[in-house]
């Protein structure tokens, strides 16, 4: 095929316009289908057409999770972390209303790690020369500013990290904005680390073999159900 031959999207079948092609490992994808990809997925060109179709099917199913999601806690400054404590889920979104987007909804149990990343930027400060030119001081002087992110490691078939941008406006150290961003990072890390620990403890508890006990109400030897009740009489065994 020639460079300018017509190409069609291997996902939706539509014709791909000029400069609208998004390459896959074994095919092509239009820019409209590419917009549906999770923002956390990387290495698109390494995905086959079938793998990308599977990913977009997951993204379509995720829309229902977003609509059912009910945040009980919100953390962060720029990018927000929404936590649904009742259903053991969370999502990360940078926008006014996550219901209007399609942010990936993840379970608490998918969190595998969390760390704070403070990125330092160094800018030289110049003085004005006699002809208005910029001249370095002797010795050179520098201004240092900082960006803040929380890097969340997750167990997902589609991505392994989520970058939570807390502050990206190059704040100066010891400023109010610096302290505010630092505190927001710590709050996010503490909350997600606690969630991870609780989810792991629950998984360990659930994996323990269930022991049969005698129901104090009907006397049956029974393993309590998920709600701690006797399967025969419905009595609360505890």
Are 162 and 79 spatial neighbours (Cβ–Cβ below 8 Å)?
Answer: no
Give the bridge partners for 128, in sequence order.
Answer: 134
Domain ranges in the chain?
Answer: 1-68, 69-207, 210-238
Are 165 and 94 spatial neighbours (Cβ–Cβ below 8 Å)?
Answer: yes
Q: Which pLDDT score, from 0 to 100, does residue 183 have? A: 97
Q: Which pLDDT score, from 0 to 100, does residue 4 have? A: 58
pTM for the model stands at 0.79
Question: With 0-12 CB in 10 A as exposed, 13-18 as middle and 19+ as buried, what is 162?
Answer: buried
Q: Which pLDDT score, from 0 to 100, does residue 1 have? A: 46
Place of tokens 């092509």: 28
Q: Which pLDDT score, from 0 to 100, does residue 223 have? A: 84
Q: Which pLDDT score, from 0 to 100, does residue 229 have? A: 85
Residue 173 neighbours by CB distance under 10 Å: 12
For 148: left if phi > 0, alpha if psi spans -120 to 50, otherwise beta; the answer is: beta
Give the bridge partners for 214, in sequence order.
Answer: 221
pLDDT in tens, the chain (238 residues): 455 568 899 999 999 988 899 999 999 999 999 999 999 999 999 999 999 999 999 999 999 999 999 999 999 999 999 999 999 999 999 999 999 999 999 999 999 999 999 999 999 999 998 999 999 999 999 999 999 999 999 999 999 999 999 999 889 998 999 999 999 999 999 999 998 888 777 766 666 667 788 888 888 888 888 778 888 888 888 6
């Amino acid at each position: 095929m020639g460079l300018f031959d017509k190409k069609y999207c291997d996902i939706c079948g539509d014709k791909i316009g000029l400069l609208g092609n998004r390459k896959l490992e074994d095919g092509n994808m239009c820019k409209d289908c590419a917009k549906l990809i999770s923002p956390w997925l990387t290495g698109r060109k390494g995905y086959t057409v079938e793998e990308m179709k599977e990913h977009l099917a997951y993204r379509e199913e995720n829309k229902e999770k977003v609509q059912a999601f009910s945040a009980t806690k919100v953390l962060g400054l720029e990018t927000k972390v929404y936590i649904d404590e009742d259903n053991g889920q969370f999502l990360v979104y940078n926008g006014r209303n996550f219901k209007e987007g399609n942010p990936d909804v993840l379970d608490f149990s998918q969190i595998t790690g969390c760390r704070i990343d403070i990125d330092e930027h160094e800018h030289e400060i110049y003085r004005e020369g006699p002809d208005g030119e910029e001249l370095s001081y002797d010795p050179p002087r520098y201004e240092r500013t900082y960006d803040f992110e929380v890097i969340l490691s997750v167990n997902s078939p589609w991505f392994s990290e989520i970058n939570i941008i807390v502050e990206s406006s190059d704040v100066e150290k010891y400023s109010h904005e610096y302290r505010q961003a630092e505190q927001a990072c710590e709050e996010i890390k503490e909350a997600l680390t606690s969630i991870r620990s609780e989810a792991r403890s629950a998984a360990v508890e659930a994996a323990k073999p269930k022991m049969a006990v005698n129901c104090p109400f009907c006397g049956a030897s029974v393993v309590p159900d998920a709600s701690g009740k006797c399967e025969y009489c419905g009595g609360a065994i505890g």
